[in-house]
Structure 1
Amino acid sequence: MLFGILGETRAWHDDGTEVPLGGPARRALLALLLIRPGEVVPADRLADAIDPDAAVSAHALQSQVSRLRKALGSGAALEAAGAGYRIVVAHDDVDACRFERLAREGRAALHAHDAERAAALLREALELWRGPALAGIAESETAQPAAVRLEEHRLGALEDRIEAECRMGQPAAFVPELRELVGRHPLRERLAGLLMRALFAEGRQAAALVVFEETRRHLAHELGADPSPELVALHRELLSADASPAPGAPPAQLTAFVGRADEVTEVAGLLRAARLVTLIGPGGVGKTRLSVEVAGVAADDVCFVELAPLRDGAGLPQALLRAFGLRENGLGMGDSSQPPVDRLIAALSDRMLLLVLDNCEHVIDDVAALAARLLAVCPRLRVLATSREPLGITGESLWQVKPLDGDAAVRLFTDRARAVRRGFAADPQVVSRICAALDNLPLAIELTAARTRTLDIDDLAGRLDDRLGVAARGIRTMDERHRTLRSVVAWSWDLLSESEQQAARRFTVFAGGATAESALRVCGTDGETLELLVDKSLLEMAEGRYRMLETIGAYGGERLDAAGERESVQHAHAQRILELVRTADPHLRRVEQLEWLPVLTAEHGNFLAALRWAVEAPDVETGLKLLASASNYLWIRGVSASVAPQAIALLEAVGDAPPAGLGEEYVTCVLLAASGVVGRPVWQRHRATAEKVLAAAWSGGRPGRYPVGLFLWMMRSASEADPLSAFALVSSQRDCSEPWARAAARYVSGFGPLGEGNTALAERIFATALEGFRSLGDRWGTALTLDALAGLAGGRGDRAQAIALTDEALSLTEQLGAVEDTVDLLVNRGDYCIGEEAATARADYDKAAGLARRAGSSTCLAAALRGLGDLALLDGDLAEAERLYGEVLERVDPHWVRSVGTRVRTLAGLGRIAEARGDHAVARTRYGEAAQSVAVMGAEVLDVLRLLGLSESIVESVVGAVSPR
């Protein structure tokens, strides 16, 4: 006989027929006896299970036992024993006992790394459950502990099963189930960890980090506890890893590579001998696919840059910076004075890397100039380019990519035809004739093979003959092959329905692909039409985005112009992108920022395309709104400089007076224009007007529409000769109704008492700002405020607190991918350690310098070198300290507020060197320069110097250099 208590209590004969147990009293009695078969259950506990609210007499209990014994018959022995009863059955005949055995064995298999066996055992165990354990009596005082224990084991087995199945592959498939479980059990850290890993495997690192943050909040709110060391370790692991391909990773390939294995080997060998190899050939011959395959075998560190979306060569350096995952400026708006090319050189100067530049022909001159410069100054760099013509620079090796040979062409056609038509089979000679008519060009073959879904092979061959004019062709010139490919694209296009043609030509306005929603909106089509275009190889679908090959896009663009639709479609595209960035903007100041940042990053090419259209149209209103809505994203991601030329152009169109109703948009445009290399004249011209507009927008306690603009205004103005008006404007909003603006204003207002030496008040204000940012889940503001609090702790000598706060801020900047800000924090942590743990400080400075060099950030590198200079000075190596300090002054940006500390410390260090050498005149000059660097901000020199952690003797020297004698 079999028994079940994992759900309603039931019993079955060996033949599967159910045993009639009777009413709920007998079922409750049996359930309690079956919790631990063979063990005696006291009579009072059995009576409580039968009816917790009534006193069941011994006679009544005995009566129920007799009836149950009669119902079970010979299937089980129900015995009186001492002051109670027991049931004698085999443990495996009880579903709960069998479940626990299988769950134990499954967990053991999991620990032994036998995921397949573990999953099978755990699935079998969980299938035994039919409902809540001990249903009907689980709430009774007698049964409750057992029910709780069984449900806990069930949840543990469920976790084990999911982990086992994740180990077997496709962990992302379990995201929905895990999300539902985490929602029901928000304090279950193992479930949260499994969901984080599953999301990470799905390429959604940001979403995984959000799960950690939400779990941390639940634990703190419900239990007053921190996450376990295991979950914290997983969090750190995710921060230091990257589930999705790197920004410049070669694109994932969805189809098999056919026919060029030997070429891959030969080109890879050529790259070992030559530092620049260019794959040349007509469009559609397979240059891009060959470059991807070569990159996979030729180098461990690869950066793949798709240049087709570029309109001209002006954006080439920024495209490379983005591909390398490098920010153009830090959160504090620094390094704006360093040209993008210089940042690239700094990042690549000592890095062993293969740089793949794909589709160079339309920006060939700019690519040639940049490649020549990078190769000249970056000795470990190699470049693989694809183009329809050579770059034409010294040291270039050319590889002519030719059409496939006959056999490979037939294999490719057959492979792609079978992908759209199961069981495809055709006379190889007919297929060979088709491929020959297509000059064996891979793209032409793929487009044509896609038509086998609806066309017979003989019909297809006949139509191609009519279209191309001949049945087969021999070797012809490159120009003729271009014409062949164009004819095939045109032929494929002509076979589309009108609705398909309309969607395809409208899709060409996208730069870098589109999500389904965006494609549907801008193209004015439906999902079925998009899927048909994918089936016919006019579109590709990968990683949740539709994309169009460059050759097809060029033809489609011509059709868009011919239809007279370009202006209206580009307007629709710009409005869609504006809607997207507007939707995302408030989320970037909340806990969801890690989910929305990747969304906007994926649309960066489309954003730039929409912005260019707005500038060229011109549509000043759309352009200003695009910049304002995306400003938060642009600053956090550090790519504000990439839009500076468009911002400057918009300001030229605007003139000196902002358009009516677009005052705040005008202000953010000024800020973005000033972030570029040539932005300072623009800033000087528009600053006064912009400040008046901003003050009007945020007057009377009424919040403006773009809180980040207000905050960035203070950050940008702080290094001016008269920053106090900007400071007063921002700090006046500390009681604003907009929560993020309120937190930001409190953060800024903390610097007022700080500059006056009232560090206690400053700390209270910063703590309030920190609470505001944390309550919103904004990592950016939280990191900045933690850094300010750490500075206060360090200034009063609380080194442990300063380091703890800096560590927390570091974890946040790492989540944001803010390399420059991570460098700043590492340097600050080194400063807190330098007096007592020089080795620890050196490790932080060295790490910071390495990150800064990799990021190509001159100002950040200056901060790290200053720390190393301080160490050299402590060691008595005056020559090395002087060399390092000199390099710092060459690199530091004098217009960046966050560079003030670096400059002051460096000048003070040079003063100490001069004093050590007995040159008191030079020492006084250096100390005076240090004091002036502080005074320009309107702060008290003495208080700032002490806040920087300088010794009293140095503080006295600096202050004395500017004090009357």
Structure 2
Amino acid sequence: MRFGILGPLDIRSRDGLPMDPGGPRPRALLTLLLLDAGRAVSGERLIHGLYGDEPPTGASNALQSQVSRLRKRLGLEIEAVPTGYRLAVSPEDVDLHHFERLSREGRRALGSGDHPGAAALLGEALGLWRGPALADLPNALGLVARLDELRLAAVQDRVEADLALGGGPGLVPELRELIAGHPLSERLHAQLMRALHASGRPAEALTAYEDARRVLADELGADPSAELSALHLELLRGQEPTRQRGVPAQLTRFVGRADELTRIGALLSGARLVTLTGPGGAGKTRLAIEAARALPDVCYVELAPLADGAQVTYAILTALGVRDGFRAAGGDTTERLLSALHGRELLLVLDNCEHMIDEAARVAGLLLGACPGVRVLATSREGLGITGEVLWAVPPLAAEPAARLFADRATAVRPDLECPADGDGARLVGEICAALDGLPLAIELAAARLRTLTLDDLAARLGDRFRLLSRGDRTKAPRHRTLHAVVEWSWELLDDDERELARRLTVFSKGATSEAVQAVCGIPYPEDLLASLAEKSFLDVADGRYGMLRTIHAFCARQLSEAGEEDRLRDAHATYFLDLAERAEPRLRGREQLPWLARLAAEQGNLDAALRHLTRADPHGGLRMMAALSWFWRLRGLYGERTALARDLLDAVGSEPPEGLGEEYVLCVINTIAGDGADPAEPDRLARADGLLAALEGPLRLPHLVVLWSVAGGPARAMEDRVRSQVGDHPWGVALLDLGQGFQELFAGRADASEAAFTRALAGFRTTGDRWGMANCLDPLGMFADWRGDRELALRRLDEGLTHVRELAAPEETADLLHQRGTVLLRAGDFEAAAAHYTRSAALARTTGVPDKVATARRGLGDVARLSGDTARAREHYEAALEACAANWFSLGQSVRILVGLGRTALAESRPREAADWFGQARGLASGTGELAEVAEALAAVAAGPEDAARLLGAAHGLRGTLIAGDPDVVPVERSARERLSPEAYDKAFGQGRELRSAAVREAVSER
């Protein structure tokens, strides 16, 4: 059978008899299948072609019925394949594909100088057209435009052949008619000028040039191209110009890229072949034009319109201005090109080489080898692959130039629009540019939509970027006009294996290693395919990871959905990353923790995506994954961000722990209370987690559970007899027990026993190599040294701890140690350094989303301001710290200390009654011995007499186990009491206070 779609659908049997497929819908369906004759067409693409953007319910079933009817009515072999349907006919039986083949052969003949053969082939190709293409296919405007472009190119090639054969006079009417329909085609204007000149009408030829110049100026605001100007000069002088000069004029300002231009200039000065690579829309062409513009001798060759490799040489000759009147020996185009460039010093810009990379590389290699004065600057989505080639990947626009480009193009379409330079508007512009990967084409298309959309509307619709950014420059080739067309053009240049891998890679949210690709995508030894996709600018490669720009990811994800593989790949993805998380978990507590932390951090996006999938598809697997990742989240300060997901997972699992997953269930419960927002259900979760934890038999498989529970539940829940059996005898667990014991002794006011426990824990963690454990021991050990007045030792210990937590990139622990170091510096009198430490601590805590630590740092800044004499500033910090406190056990202690700070501020301002009121509020909240010690010291400052002051200081000593040497708030109070009492009287009162038990101290404090 023979099929025609270059006009109304026409079907002919082998005998030449017409056949009727039925009504409009079967005709459209058959047209869609014929467009890809012999190849699979996805169901989604067929449905879109039949129904447009809003298909009816049951469209898939309707499609199946339509295919069945076509089979029966015409006897066609339409195969159902996994991705859709395939019409089993040869492309040569379809006029469109026959036209494309004849056009390619005609261009090849034209390029080789076989003008009679070219005219015959192109005439036969154009004779296949019977009217507007795809007349029976709705929703195909973009495709029809592409076919019309191919038809016009074939007409122009045929005219070129006819001109070479002396057919000038007869071509004039046809060319005038073509120009009426395509007034901006400089090639048609040039052909008309040559046809008029060949007809003996030189004056009309010059008039035709003036007509072309006026149209280009009126419609585009541009001058004629260098080639058209050169032809005009030829006609004026009666001599042939030898080449085209310069690069195309641009209609818009060039924004940013100054560093890139400098870099390209440096590369061109040291290499003869430089290729700019990058994905479609990255701005390779514009960058090449701007880089070449500053050079004195440039020939620009646009390869995008070419449909056959044989045209490359001819295109360069045309760009050089070498016409048919110029002849070298034998008339061979390659020899003509070499002769034209012999002895020349120039830069040849070969733009858009990717679709005919082999021929572009062959010609470039030939020229570079034979013409020493020639340099080549190429643009392509992959390198030419020539020895000596320097590749330079055009990077996305950085944030600032991207925003400037957006603003420039936005004001072009709306001169009254003022793009915001700061505030929420500027932030929104930055987010839009980042979401569009910094691709200049995408940014320009987005800015153009501000003609009818607001910034908010534009940002909200970026999820469907291909539909949104579908209105481009009408003068550009269709494949360079819209964002979808640009990416689709790159997609079409991939082979089937590359496409298969590219669409499967979209299951990874943040890139992947080759190991992950092999395991998840089911493609053995994918390294070569990955390298090929990277070379073709479909993937980025950094540190052994392969990633996609979001725009390419979105396009390929659509292909994955059409292929029907998404669910299977999501399952495989989740299985792989669950295994990775469980392999990493025990290694995060020893000497391997740094490389494994880095590996998990690199995979964070994939781990989150896998956990979300498991929450929906396999909640028990989700429990395992959340449990395995909980310690990683804790170390990296990420745990609060996963609270909502933990609650969703708990809802999916139910109210009872699954068999064998008790520890995992408890960890999930703990993660539900790790956020920074108050939740009415939190007390119930705390009680439930406590009961579940008590029921767990030791030793635990996941001993970090104990740490996370102590952080969430508070010190009162941290150390019980059951914990010893749950932790077991592993060195890490033993060190953890000593760490917990150190805090218990500290909270009980037994400083010496606490320091001994922390010292044992530090030795244990050093044995295991766990930096987190070492840092968490060095923090209190530095504090004890500070209490004794050995500030040098305190700073050394804290600095060692900071080294460990910075290696871990643990922001919360870093914030803690910075705060502790600031406190040591404060007591040493270095207020400026202390304030800097507190400020950095607050910034880290803020980025981690831990308001308690922000409050702690703001309290430290309040202390600095107060002790520096700036009581107004101190009050601001204290009040801000109170606002930052969350409703948990840790914030309770911070609130006590903040209230004490407010009281000391009032006292510094000579308002003792107000100070006593603040101290009274602090006393009411105080529960731990450390907090009571600070309250006692504060009350000593407003005591009625020196004996009361000495007794309260003794109580503070008894509660904490010591007074802090050199404490700037306590030293003046102690000195005053000693000055007013005899040594015996002071020691007696102090001793009485020190001997009081906690309950008695509380009562004594309450009396004040």
TM-score (norm 2): 0.47
Pick 1 or 2: higher relative contact order, CA cutoff 8 A, min separation 6: 1
- Choose 1 or 2 for highest CA Rg: 2
